[in-house]
Structure 1
């Protein structure tokens, strides 16, 4: 993060960060529109200030920046952010050096650091001095973009100006020509004033979202996922198809929960119920167990008043906060939402019942307690997979199993390997039992790990090891059955049986 404190002084803060931890279940991923920022690379952020540095301040109709802010305000600690956009132009301006000496090219182009209209009208002031008290020529650069804090880069050697400006959040300098020919000395000092233009924006389409869905699936750390702008950018059948594609991508991972928002164009209860029914009609309970819906949207402050924001980001923050306070096995319900002042719409009780029956979790405003998350169910109607707490416990166990078993993938199937697996997995499950996540008065009532000749017969491929794990969550009481397969030809696979 770069901050301008005084004219000519630039202070750069390097966040201390923390190592990625795939076992955590409070890390969120957000896919949506932002003012600026990279569109090809997921960015890991640990605070709202990190988001502002990477993607700029909230601007325009995009809901995702406000959702990410709601995540951090409600107790979230870490998130991955993926910016999506349609075909976009990058703002730029030419710069001709002329007779100024020391530069590696005679022409350059100042280019915005990322595509979009956000940099149109940006001003870049460049001041050159052929000599200073220290001797060699220097260049000072100041970048001013509407809505962004200015950046100042003083005392740059002309030949290094391209590399030095790579640290800017806002612009890049691209050589556009050969080195200037030797000749008569240039002026003692000179100034240029550049104005960037030509940046364009278009809304993201299905392909942009589909690519982002694929990229988030490659990240091992996120356990929560939201797409706050999806209902605005994609509508009708395209929206439904993308959601189902998302769930098909996430379901085999067995380690993350998707929190969806009712599209903002569906303003009536009838429309919201029909939208939820379009997913449940297929009857794929396992697929729908990866998703939960929260409604209605929230009214949040935006500096000029309030604006309507989908609830998913704030809800993910609540889930992350409760995860740290109680553990992933607790239901994220009856918990206060912060950084919101009201509901976008208040439903009377009969309509609340209809939404609840359709599998839509409610955000409610209760007297004396304010805004609260009310309900903790997935879209699945199967009692075995309908509870969010049940699903998130499974996600935690799958992550723990992967961490334990991954280093053993290339070991040879042997009694020693099986014993090692049983001991390691038992240790993980004992920790869950002691935390109150599992039912039973004794560990043997709460879980069982089988990895012996009964599921690894002598005729089985020696490069393949199978472990079966039965777990009884504290609530609901149905058993979870996981099947762990280690194969030297296909790595590690954790299957929910």
Structure 2
């Protein structure tokens, strides 16, 4: 609201422009998320929209990490946006830098004093290469430009600039507020004002060029990948998660537990990397160790039986994006490419569709580490391992759509992901009802809102049945909202869905018919 004092009658117009805010994905839409170790970049969940943005924030391929390869494969396979979480050691230290002000003179006020602390947003030695420059903006006393460079000098890769800012707490372009803003602020640093409560023009950082932060260390403890994955709950998003190259069940099982508690996350697990030269039979046994459907032992322990996780393997041979040599290839875990296909299928079809088969050709894949026989494929499918294999006239495709949970119907990836999608969509759609008067009018309103959402899904072909009457049912009335539940502040909706299930097995029956006698053959 304008603070101008108006002195004459008339109409007065003010303009107020808010900072550009990153648009969040629509309710119920899955977003990919990658969690892993890396030697550069933010550690909190960060949404990125292109490989170029990943390079600017995480410096691309470095340190032997699988994280950048998974992100690159994701965007190469149709992904549009993803969260990245860089896991750091608990004992890692954060780099910082203190800037002096511009005070001069004599007596107690003589000499420059500390005015601004700059702290890296994430721990690690990478922040020791962050360089900060302060220049005069030329727009008035006490105003300056702040530049952050990654790389330690003017040749640094990632650059952030905050122009015409001030440390005056009453200024609309207060540097601390702009840099520390949760959504639009810096990805690399936070600011802390160290000057006196009553700001003066002299409490402006002195001009400096490419002064680097210091004190950052990587630490000796192993990063907690499980805790890093669970930090994604702060996004409140519907997630497809992958920990690139991680097949350790001690790490993955806590993540699966969290996926179930959170209710809006699905975990795509990379199969173990098999040593070169390992016989195919031994590779099959190694992949099956992850499956709780066939491995009932504890050494090694399998994944926890859950419909919130699925395993894909074997690893895939792709063009090596980290080197410029023509024809160079690299063996990579499949999770990044698969999450790209998940994202593409969600846009083209919806979460009810299994991202598998010849419509889900993995781009840039030259081969899979193993080619299994039909008998071995039978073993792996029964174990719930979704195998990537060559499909004639298509390419290398995921040829499986099962979770690591036995039973029906949520043994299918498509069913579990669709239920996650529906849950989020209905929670977002009915949030308005909280604290509304708990009366039949509210029940009717909720019924109408939910019916509309489910009707849209039916019309989009996401539910079984050609009409709302056969595709779903919604009950929210006196039959499931008694006086006791109303007195307790509760509203109950009972929803039934006719779920779609994938066609896994195509059986073709070929028969010969000649004047009353016949013979037949069944192909699958």
Q: TM-score, normalised by structure 1?
A: 0.73
Largest Rg, 1 or 2: 2
Task: Indicate which of 274, 289, 313 corresponds to 1:274.
Answer: 289
Q: Cα gap change, 1:435/1:274 in structure 2, threshold over 3 Å: closer, same or farther?
A: same
Task: Indicate which of 104, 113, 118 corresponds to 2:126.
Answer: 118
Q: Give, in whole Å, the separation in 2 of the partners of 1:459 and 1:138.
A: 64
Q: Give, in whole Å, the separation in 2 of the partners of 1:384 and 1:390.
A: 7
2:98 matches 1:73: no
TM-align CA RMSD: 4.3
Q: Give, in whole Å, the separation in 1 of the partners of 2:451 and 2:98.
A: 64
Task: Indicate which of 309, 326, 336 corresponds to 1:291.
Answer: 309
2:27 matches 1:50: no
Q: Give, in whole Å, the separation in 2 of the partners of 1:286 and 1:447.
A: 31
CA contact (8 A) 2:292 2:404 kept: no
Task: Indicate which of 474, 499, 502 corresponds to 1:449.
Answer: 474
Q: Give, in whole Å, the separation in 2 of the partners of 1:230 and 1:199.
A: 26
Q: Cα gap change, 1:198/1:259 in structure 2, threshold over 3 Å: closer, same or farther?
A: same
2:43 matches 1:19: no
1:256 corresponds in structure 2 to 265
1:317 corresponds in structure 2 to 340
Secondary structure of 1:417's counterpart equals helix
Task: Indicate which of 459, 465, 477 corresponds to 2:491.
Answer: 465
2:226 corresponds in structure 1 to 210
Q: Give, in whole Å, the separation in 1 of the partners of 2:437 and 2:130.
A: 63
Q: Give, in whole Å, the separation in 1 of the partners of 2:347 and 2:340.
A: 11
Secondary structure of 2:355's counterpart equals coil
Q: Cα gap change, 1:136/1:307 in structure 2, threshold over 3 Å: closer, same or farther?
A: same
> Between Structure 1 and Structure 2, how many residues are aligned?
442
Query: Structure 2 matches for 1:22-171, cutoff 5 A?
Result: 22-24=27-29, 26-39=30-43, 41-86=44-89, 87-90=91-94, 105=113, 114-119=122-127, 122=129, 124=131, 143=149, 145=151, 148-149=156-157, 151=159
Return 5+ residue gaps in structure 1 as ranges.
1-13, 179-188, 232-238, 478-497
2:218 matches 1:201: yes
2:510 corresponds in structure 1 to none
Q: Cα gap change, 1:315/1:15 in structure 2, threshold over 3 Å: closer, same or farther?
A: farther
Deviations 1:104-137 (A, max 9, x none): 53798886563223355x48597989xx9x9999
Q: Give, in whole Å, the separation in 2 of the partners of 1:436 and 1:155.
A: 51
Q: Give, in whole Å, the separation in 1 of the partners of 2:370 and 2:305.
A: 30
- How far residue 172 of structure 1 moved from its aligned partner, in angstroms, is 7.3
CA contact (8 A) 1:84 1:204 kept: no
Q: Cα gap change, 1:452/1:124 in structure 2, threshold over 3 Å: closer, same or farther?
A: closer
Q: Give, in whole Å, the separation in 1 of the partners of 2:97 and 2:363.
A: 40
Q: TM-score, normalised by structure 2?
A: 0.70
Query: Structure 2 matches for 1:175-194, cutoff 5 A?
Result: none
